[in-house]
Structure 1
Amino acid sequence: MLIDASQREILPAEFAMVDGCFDPLHRGHVEYFRFARMLGVPVLCNMAADEYIRTRKGRPPLLPEADRAAVIGAIRYVDYVFVAREGTAWSLDYFRPKYYVKGADWIGSLPSEQIAICRERQIHIVYANCVLNSSTRILEDFLENRRVRKAV
């Protein structure tokens, strides 16, 4: 279910929050969602808006946010999808999940602002050991293969 900030009250008292760009969505993301669901609570996916991808990744999104939200919302491990326009720290502070789930590749590199908010709000940071791929790597490999084919 796609929600906006005004619908915070429909979230249960306890839930897990996952977040990322999910562009393109891949199997590792599904495993990440599955891991979050195994915590025994509903899952809110805090999905980066198109503008974040343009600004932070330096490229347009492969799939527009409406399409990414629809696909993520159809995955059985995800109960709620929120298109994040204000950043992860804002979403953590506003929604106050019980768990903030990140991939194990984030150990030691979570932004200090997110860690501070989790401490203040008593949000448990949980690292999922299910990193199977990278959207950035998938896109880079695709573009490199395309360049090689054009050169031949």
Structure 2
Amino acid sequence: MLPSQEKIVALPQLLAKVEEWRGQGQKIVFTNGCFDIVHVGHVDYLERARLLGDKLVVGLNTDQSVSRLKGPTRPLQDEMSRIRVMASFWFVDAVVLFDQETPLELITALGPDVLVKGDDYALENIVGHEVVLARGGAAKTIPLVKGYSTSQVVAKILGEKP
């Protein structure tokens, strides 16, 4: 098994890893997304998220949840492709799939020290922020790289204006 594949975990494995990391005094950062076509905006965002703690856990939407959120033509890449790409980044320590409409159940089970989303979210609109704050953690936003989104990439490929 390749090292990046070892970062792809199911929830029970993830919870065991997080318990181990916490036992070592490490700060856990969590974020989530579809990450359908990875671009520089994603890379910048994820790397900055990792700098907020010692371990970065990424919750990745399943194919079915991406379709529910983005429509029947998405995702463009299947979940196994997307999860493998996420796991290949040095700044991502674990990746777990979730199929719910939001990552609230995952955040509640995980109890991250820091919950992160892009600055296109207001802090009070970040799903799970109440759970993290109640545990003494923090919810933060990270500035997004302007002009980069999967929707814009798709529009450019199709020769459409985004």
Q: Does 1:97 align with 2:112?
A: yes
How does the TM-score come out when normalised to structure 2?
0.81
Q: How many percent identity over aligned positions?
A: 23
Answer yes or no: is the 8 Å Cα contact 1:93–1:121 preserved in 2.
no
1:88 pairs with 99, 103, 109, which one? 103
Q: Report the equivalent of 2:12.
A: 6
Q: CA deviation at 1:108?
A: 5.3
Q: Report the equivalent of 1:30.
A: 43
1:121 pairs with 128, 131, 135, which one? 135
Segments of 4+ in structure 1 off by > 4 A?
A: none
1:71 pairs with 85, 96, 107, which one? 85
Gapped regions of structure 2 (runs ≥ 5): 1-6
Task: Give the count of matched residue pairs.
Answer: 145
Q: Partners in 1 of 2:121 and 2:94 — Cα distance?
A: 23
Q: Which amino acid aligns with 1:136?
A: S
Q: Partners in 1 of 2:128 and 2:51 — Cα distance?
A: 23
Q: Partners in 1 of 2:129 and 2:55 — Cα distance?
A: 22
Change (3 A) 1:27 1:44: same
Gapped regions of structure 1 (runs ≥ 5): 148-152
Q: Report the equivalent of 1:61.
A: 75
Q: Report the equivalent of 2:31.
A: 18
Q: CA deviation at 1:139?
A: 1.6
2:156 pairs with 131, 138, 141, which one? 141
Instruction: Encode CA deviations 1:105-146: one digit per residue, 9 max, x unaligned.
Output: 1125725x5232233333311111133411122223322x07
Q: Partners in 2 of 1:88 and 1:45 — Cα distance?
A: 10
Moved more, 34-43 or 114-123: 114-123
Moved more, 47-56 or 124-133: 124-133
Partner-residue secondary structure (3-state), 1:106: coil
